[in-house]
Structure 1
């Protein structure tokens, strides 16, 4: 599995803000938006482009645009925070949705929403989720995408844990990973260490749904 770690100083500074327990919801969202745009920028590096005629105010030249913009698929709920940054970089991208919650007792993903094109054959898909912990939720999402024919899937995650990265690599699924960091371990509650806590709670406040 191809892994890209975006270790740019500006990415590291935004990640630091997100890790800091003193960071409030508003500042966390702002840092996530900045880092999300940086990761999407890097994930898009090898997208196919096409040239077209273009006239500037002074001359005729050629322009560049994406040949086939990717589909952005957030894993709800935390992944929603990465949609606007992705669209700021790729405004003509389509958006699908996969809703997964975490059962706090079993740490397993609980699906509750799926809104995707029926056929993803030949399409590029960016599956976005701030956290890759055990890999359970992301693997569930990527299997859904692969079952619909997707063979070009990029997982864009801000913080990845080594166990989740290993699970993704061992899955045999057609996926590559773009991330800002790979943290070494998970605690007994399956949270990434050092991590940044629950990304969904830090984006939107604590959820009040028991699964």
Structure 2
């Protein structure tokens, strides 16, 4: 664990991830497990949210109770696989604002190509959590964060299910101010830019399009 990268080693996270890695795991189970893991990862990525207090009348007496401070945070799904993480995080933070960044990877150059961008207003006043299950080459993730910063975001965290060392290094180079929270740091990328040992294409396995 470093200041830039946090690996969530919670036993439930690791157990569920191992089931997801199994090629025999069904689309239905994969989708449910991703939702469950996203809840657990969300606890870590939101650990240091700013707090304040407000007066609450309990059944016994008033008290100054801790509550979240500032504007509601923004969850940004990097399409399409980011939606699998988004569903789980929204269960934990249902009042969050939601945005979408549409990027696909050119399979020849491995470079990201943008096709959609719609995010909440006032990103500069919000904690922004970018969601994408796979941090592989890091090119799409870095490009998505570029777009978020151009839209005014200045407090961004990146949450993913799996990361490759190459992707972590790319993000650290491009955006050293963006902490990464992940369930595992795998060994490497293969020649096609897929994380190894990984779990295959998260979007295909989540939506059953393989």
TM-score (norm 2): 0.93
Distance 1:130 1:65 in 2: 29
Match of 2:76 among 73, 77, 88: 73
Give yes or no for contact 2:97–2:120 (8 Å, CA) kept in 1. Answer: no
Deviations 1:6-38 (A, max 9, x none): 001011011111111111111001110111011
Runs of 4+ in 1 over 3 A off after TM superposition: none
Question: For residue 2 of structure 1, what is the aligned residue in structure 2?
Answer: 4
Is 1:38 paired with 2:43?
no
1:118 CA drift (Å): 5.2
Q: Residue 160 of structure 1 aligns with which residue?
A: 163
Match of 1:109 in 2: 112
- Give the drift of 1:152: 1.0
Q: In the TM superposition, what whole-angstrom CA distance separates every residue of 1:31-69 from its partner, at most 9, and x where no partner exists?
A: 101110111110000000121111223332333321133
Count of matched residue pairs:
207
Q: Does residue 134 of the first structure (1) align with residue 133 of the second (2)?
A: no
Distance between the aligned counterparts of 1:85 and 1:32, measured in 2?
A: 8
Shift of 1:173: 4.9
Q: Are 1:47 and 2:55 counterparts?
A: no
Q: Deviations over 1:155-206 (max 9, x none)?
A: 0001000000000111145311001111120011100000110000011022
Instruction: Tell me how far apart the structure 1 counterparts of residues 175 and 110 of structure 2 sit (CA, whole Å).
Output: 22
TM-score under structure 1 length normalisation? 0.93
| Counterparts in 2 of 1:95 and 1:165: CA distance versus 1, 3 Å | same
In 2: Cα distance, 1:98 partner to 1:7 partner: 28
Is residue 8–residue 183 contact of structure 2 (8 Å, CA) maintained in 1? Answer: yes
Aligned alpha-carbon RMSD (Å): 1.5
Contact between 2:74 and 2:123, CA under 8 Å: does it hold in 1? no
